[in-house]
A and B are shown apart, each in its own frame.
Chain A
Amino acid sequence: MNRRDFLKGLVSTSYVVLSGASVLAPLNALAASGAKSKDGWLTTGSHFGAFKMKRKNGVIDQVKPFDLDKYPTDMINGIKGLVYNPSRVRYPMVRLDFLLKGHKSDTTQRGDFRFVRVTWDKALHLLKDSLDEVQSKYGPSGLHAGQTGWRATGQLHSSTSHMQRAIGMHGNFVKKVGDYSTGAGQTILPYILGSTEVYAQGTSWPLILEESNTIILWSNDPYKNLQVGWNAETHESFAYLAQLKEKVKQGKIRVISIDPVVTKTQKYLGCEQLYVNPQTDVALMLGIAHEMVTKKLHDEKFIEGYSLGFDRFLPYLMGESDGVAKTPEWASEITGVSPEIIRDLAKVMTKGRTQMMMGWCIQRQQHGEQPYWMAAVLATMIGQIGLPGGGISYGHHYSSIGVPSSGAAAPGAFPRNLDEDQKPLFDSNDFKGASSTIPVARWIDAIMEPGKTIDANGSKVTYPDIKMMVFSGNNPWNHHQDRNKMKQAFQKLECVVTIDMNWTATCRFSDIVLPACTTFERNDIDVYGSYANRGILAMQKMVEPLFESLSDFEIFTRFAAVMGKEKEYTRGMTEKDWLIKLYDDCKAANAGKFDMPDFESFWKEGYVHFGEGKPWTRHAAFRDDPEINPLGTPSGLIEIFSRKIAQFGYDDCPGHPTWMEKLERSHGGPGSEKFPVWMQSCHPDKRLHSQMCESKEYRETYTVQGREPVYLSPVDAKKRGIKDGDIVRVFNERGQLLAGAVVSDSFPQGVIRIHEGAWYGPVGEDGSKEGGAEIGALCSYGDPNTLTQDIGTSKLAQACSAYTCLVEFEKYQGKVPEVSSFNGPVETQI
């Protein structure tokens, strides 16, 4: 047909164009003038650092470090990718089968399914209906809204506070105690040293640099981990690490890194390494202690004056109670460290001033309480606790701990709890005999075995029958162990709701997914410098929320409106009102101590700087006068033997530090005949947990064939015919994953590393696109928690034990699947 005739025919059908509006509209004057968002530099911050951003044509154009951050990390180069990556959750969405069948939907589809877009109004009503259903049918024990995590920075929009306040206004729910990072440590140390220690300010670096002769970095990699912080990080610690490097070079301070691998810190400082077999640190510590006692190197006076129970520990150490003397020879067998080195270490540690700095990894293993306890005993025997540059710390690798605190008050936050006189819509507190609070890492067990009673920290916990989970700014499909077990558990849930900015695996395993905007699409306020509290940062909105995403404040204000509680929720204040209130309250708290300008001037300037604090020594007051300044332990003293723990009667956590064999241990330990390789899944170098993994361009600076790197030793690589850059399948009886081989001398035989935080991207067992929801699926990107064990550390802490994990690996020969982690839900064709 002739084109013109055809078109004439079209005209003649005179079809009237659809009533729906065009996606285009006349340019309005406001947008034309660009008044809404002027281009230029603005200030903001993140866990990765405070920084400045340039806005151009309404989008983020450039990022550069904050003026006061002298050691910025290159992770800020990933910020743009966090905002503009294709994994953004763009609209409120509901899993189709859930939309059709509600709480009776086919839950085996989770993780591999069809979603539909809904309006915000519809989504929030669905959320309310689901909560109504669970509260009226099961009561508060049916709802778990207490799994919370690292969120994004900002005190006003803290995603967990908003979610818990709003959901709390609807009804009560199951909560968690503890966290994945330090679960064993924060539970055991209050009994031993009288505080969690892991989250306490530590002796200031200037004092350590001045006074220490020896620094022991025990399983500790501060140069890697100090890159990120709980608040907007400004990296002051790195100036001290640089000074330490200088002192190491000059031979003024001896730094020994006790670790199976050569850490980033060791390489930076140019310090010594003492290799130890994975998971055997307690044996090494016992060997050292035995040598100290034998050679009378320990400080008996300090032990006598400041601790309790050494006499009850000694028979175990010397072998009188169990017939096994914990000699250097005994320790050598287990740890792979020679008796001579152990003897020498005992001498080195007791000569001059020794600062022990413990990392967190060794408490994320079965019996993870023990290495922390035994390290405290060693420090007590050395007798320098409370002296500058001596004693022990458990946090010098975290959030600027060790940088002197300014002492200024930080801004408060939007309230997490209900106001005093507010009552939830469903006010029942009847948990039907189950516990309302469960140890953080045991929630999957609870879903699997509701009603089961376990021991935890001296009491009994009965698992609630959880039917619904609500997550916000939190990705348990990263940080929890054993994906295949999680899949089984999730099939038992009636409803899963996730609020996030990008399609994390947690979103993919949800029924209702709500889009939150990123930190850079809203105004907020934060402290910068984390524990150092160096100042207050204006977090200025860079761009309007993308797609239909909303700020956490807006999402839950709307949800509160659905409940008829909008004014109760916001206390009648707008976002701007809150921002000013948080600032003004902080200003009032600092009045007379730290000068803060009015809000407008602060916002214009972008920050208020508090300056540097005074150096301080941990436990110095206790050392000075233990009677007036007792520790927070039952006795007020260091408890080498804890009667309190002993009377719990736990076989896996007795009354004094004890070496116990693990369920799985490499280098000749149990299970190593079948799966000979220990996998460490430590905190990543280029992310904050799973945050920033989705930032594509930045991710590609470290991936191997698009996969998460698996670091392995040249010996292991050769044995398996693997070359650097190959795709490797890592597996055990719990699961399997693909990762990209990085062959490195830094890793000893029998040890591999895959950083946690690698996004889970399940595909069919044979590498095909379909089958990701199935048990046994292959992770196409390399999430190490596909392989880890979901067991408690002990009956005491019941904490995460990701480090007790053996695997095997091989060069991957099968069909190489596309990485499925970063593209939202993958739909299976039926």
Chain B
Amino acid sequence: MNREPVTDSAINQARGMVYQLLSSLFAKEVDHQLLHELTSEQAQGFWAQLASESAFKADVDTLVSVLSELKSDKALLELAADYCGLFLVGTKHSASPYASLYLEDAEGGSTDEPTLFGEQHQLMLQFLKQSQLQVQSSFPEPADHLAVILAYAAHLCNTADEAAQLEFIESYLNNWVGNFAAKVTQCDSGQFYSALTRLTQSWIQAEVTGLRAEQ
């Protein structure tokens, strides 16, 4: 264990890592390699630390327990089917992870489903461009996909001041992740992704609270 004094930048790096982890879990299905990394000894320590915060505990426990049960290809495929049903097809009966779907809901209160690659996608593209970033070509999703927004938040943790981080998280995550989490919980036929989404929601709430306090 590292005994040196913990610097702000190390803390930001750690926060960025959490965003990055969440991003990765929303970006694709859990495969063997990811499973291996998520259940490694190092990861166990990480999960335990995450679970030390009471707001996160229940969901982290669920994640860890589901992961520990993924012993066969079939189990992984079942989890992949959960992922697919939630995030890769349709919207109404599933929970596509695009900000535009939930923001519009929140604002207009309408049940209209906007088309894909709309305004939110363009907005995120602008952010990325300002930061000299783009979405990986191997990830052919609209830029308002949760994984992209979380990855961008990770990037901000390491490059922007806290005020800017707070502004982004408040305006582009915190305002819709709640609706999203509710939808995932409603549609998920397993437990993993509802727990993951709730954890994401709690994490973002904690972040917002924490960053506000530090202003």
Contacts and interface: CB of A to CB of B under 8 A. Distances in A.
Given A12-B49, A84-B116, A826-B90, 16 more contacts: A3-B213, A9-B49, A11-B14, A20-B24, A22-B20, A23-B148, A25-B133, A26-B134, A86-B115, A88-B116, A90-B89, A93-B89, A114-B85, A546-B140, A547-B140, A547-B141
B206 A3 contact: yes
B206 A24 contact: no
Most chain A beta-carbon contacts within 10 A, residue among B43, B115, B132: B115
17 contacts: A8-B11, A10-B15, A17-B21, A23-B23, A25-B136, A25-B137, A59-B121, A93-B88, A96-B77, A503-B90, A547-B141, A822-B92, A823-B89, A825-B85, A827-B81, A827-B85, A829-B189
Contacts of A18: 20-21, 24, 34, 37
B191 interface: no
Nearest to B86: A827
Contact of B115 (A21, A114, A547, A696): A696
Given A10-B50, A93-B88, A829-B189, A19 B37 contact: yes
A733 B27 CA distance: 47
A824 interface: yes
B10 A26 contact: no
Interface in B1-28: 1-2, 6, 10-11, 13-15, 17-18, 20-21, 23-24, 27-28
A1 B151 contact: no
A19 B33 contact: yes
Nearest to B73: A100
B134 A80 contact: no
Contacts of B140: 546-548
A818 interface: yes
A99 B73 CA distance: 11
B128 interface: yes
B133 A503 contact: no
Contacts of B10: 11
B77 A100 contact: yes
A85 interface: yes
Interface string B98-126: 00000000000000010111100110010
B155 interface: yes
A769 B85 CA distance: 15
A196 B113 CA distance: 45
A820 interface: yes
Contact of A22 (B15, B34, B136, B210): B136
A99 B77 contact: yes
A27 B96 contact: no
B115 A85 contact: yes
Nearest to A10: B14
7 closest A-B pairs by beta carbon, nearest first, are A823-B90, A824-B89, A824-B90, A15-B46, A84-B115, A114-B81, A10-B14
B93 to A, nearest CB: 5
Interface string A110-148: 000011110000000000000000000000000000000
Given A22-B23, A100-B74, A696-B113, A11 B6 contact: yes
Interface in A474-523: 503
Nearest to A118: B80
A100 B78 CA distance: 10
A647 interface: no
A3 B141 contact: no
A16 interface: yes
Given A24-B133, A823-B91, A86 B96 contact: yes
A813 interface: no
A606 interface: no
Nearest to A508: B89
A100 B116 CA distance: 32
A25 B42 contact: no
B52 interface: yes
Interface string B26-52: 011100011001000011011011101
A718 interface: no
B134 A14 contact: no
B153 to A, nearest CB: 11
Nearest to A3: B210
A10 B139 contact: no
Contacts of A10: 11, 14-15, 17-18, 46, 49-50
A336 B83 CA distance: 59
Contacts of A459: none
Contacts of A829: 189
A117 B88 contact: yes
Interface string A80-96: 11001111101101001
A6 B52 contact: yes
Contacts of A697: 115
B94 interface: yes
Contacts of B90: 86-87, 503, 822-826
A4 interface: yes
Interface in A1-58: 1, 3-4, 6-28, 31-32, 57
B124 to A, nearest CB: 11
A82 to B, nearest CB: 10
Given A23-B27, A23-B148, A85-B116, A7 B14 contact: yes
B192 to A, nearest CB: 14
